[in-house]
């Protein structure tokens, strides 16, 4: 899953949210210097990723893209699914998306000193262009896909994946909706398990 899903699946727990967000910037187990609950957020992130990577429904979404994007198809599906979460946000949260995202940006700024360098470099761009809120819009997703394509030096052709989203929009949305309900249940169980352990 992409940024918004991981933040949402931290269940409004601030330290878990930080860990869940920064996990992709942390290698192996090199997080022992971080507060214990942030470490648990990193572990939760990895559990969510493993569950997603092995679940049948995201595999169906990914297979639809595989011929055009090969191993990048899973990354694209993560981005699509964040779009559907943002677009249908009111189904999942009583907090308006713009308020939720602003609170998250404030949380990052309040905990800047413990963030990995990669996150610190990314933050100004993410906040200035309001990446996470703009997942709800097709042009926001197009910008993300263009940026990802540039990062792969145009090898991934991910910039064209906005066309696949438009063509198969209803199928992808249905798959997201079915999968995300299961992911919420799984993630809540793992969150409780992690946070009740000493």
pLDDT < 50 stretches in the chain: none
pLDDT at position 197 is 76
Query: What's the structural domain count of the chain?
Result: 1
pLDDT digits (tens, 9 = 90+) for 125-136: 999 999 999 999
pTM for the model: 0.95
Sign of CA dihedral 181, 184, 187, 191: negative
Task: Print the domain residue range for 93.
Answer: 3-196
pLDDT at position 126 is 92
Residue 66 Rama label (left phi>0; alpha psi -120 to 50; beta): alpha
* Cβ atoms of 66 and 157 closer than 8 Å: no
What is the Cα–Cα distance from 198 to 195, expressed in whole angstroms?
8
Tell me the DSSP string of 55-91.
-HHHHHHHHHHHHHHGGGHHHHHHHHHHHHHHHTGGG
Q: Say how many C-beta atoms besides its own lie within 10 A of residue 132's C-beta.
A: 23
What is the Cα–Cα distance from 34 to 45, expressed in whole angstroms?
15
pLDDT at position 114 is 95
């Amino acid at each position: 899953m992409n940024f918004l899903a991981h933040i949402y699946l931290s269940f409004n727990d601030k330290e878990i949210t930080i860990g869940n967000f920064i996990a992709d910037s942390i290698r192996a187990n090199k997080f022992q210097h971080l507060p214990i609950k942030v470490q648990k957020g990193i572990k939760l992130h990895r559990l969510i990723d493993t569950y997603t990577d092995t679940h049948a429904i995201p595999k169906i979404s990914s297979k639809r893209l595989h011929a055009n994007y090969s191993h990048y198809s899973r990354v694209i599906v993560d981005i699509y699914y964040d779009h559907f979460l943002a677009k249908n946000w009111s189904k999942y949260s009583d907090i308006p998306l713009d308020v939720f995202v602003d609170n998250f940006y404030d949380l990052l700024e309040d905990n800047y000193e413990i963030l990995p360098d990669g996150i610190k470099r990314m933050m100004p761009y993410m906040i200035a262009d309001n990446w996470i809120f703009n997942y709800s819009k097709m042009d926001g997703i197009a910008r993300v896909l263009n940026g990802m394509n540039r990062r792969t030096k145009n090898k991934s052709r991910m910039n064209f994946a906005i066309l696949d989203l438009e063509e198969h929009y209803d199928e992808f949305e249905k798959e997201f909706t079915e999968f995300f309900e299961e992911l919420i249940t799984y993630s809540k169980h793992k969150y409780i398990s992690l946070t009740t352990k000493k």
